[in-house]
Amino acid sequence: MTESAFIHRYEPATNAGSPPLLLLHGTGGDENDLLGLGKMISPGSALLSPRGRVLEHGMPRFFRRLAEGVFDEEDVRRRAHELGDFVADARRRYGIAAPVAVGFSNGANIAAALLLLKPEVLAGAILLRAMVPLSDPPRNDPAKADLAGKPVLLLSGQADPIVPASNSARLAALLSQAGASVTHKVLPAGHQLSQADVTLARNWIGNVDEKAA
């Protein structure tokens, strides 16, 4: 296994016009977790779904944390670069365009880090219950943090016990300052996903797809 390799699932597109999705699970999930969500959000899209390579008490994650809500930021940076290399390899292997990331919780956090550290890897992102991944993001380095109108949907839970409202608002501002076109909605939900998340994500990606066409 190469350094950038991940255990993953790949399902080819059944609709050539639908954007490929990079599915990034939460803590304790795996490469199968978000396949159903991906199909609901964007029927016909190619689906690329890796398993996080870090284990926390036996549960897969995409990077280490020191405590709940406290990230090992050196590991965040290293793992984001590894994931970016994997996506680049997978694009060549499967012949797909830059994907839209769909991340939940830990997966949304690594997707946010990927946007800030390797923005060229993603065409956009749907961040479900995401937090600010880096306390010192590379916003002063335009080569790294120029998101140039890249579409991002951030869906937060009003009653989320893990992600404070101030943190998700700071993430939205951070991505906007880097040039992303951010839509941030706060739902009457906790940390778990709701039907509203699915509906909003499906409508948003449909609008992004129409603009791209």
Catalytic residues: 105, 160, 191
From CA 81, how far away is CA 75, in angstroms rounded? 10
Angle 136-137-140 from CA coordinates, rounded to 5°: 105
CA-wise closest residue to 180 among 131, 122, 128: 122
- Strand 151-157 versus strand 8-11 pairing type: unpaired
CA distances from 158 to 123, 153, 167, 197, 212 (A): 27, 16, 12, 13, 31
Query: Quick one: which of 45, 90, 177, 73 has its CA closest to 37?
Result: 45
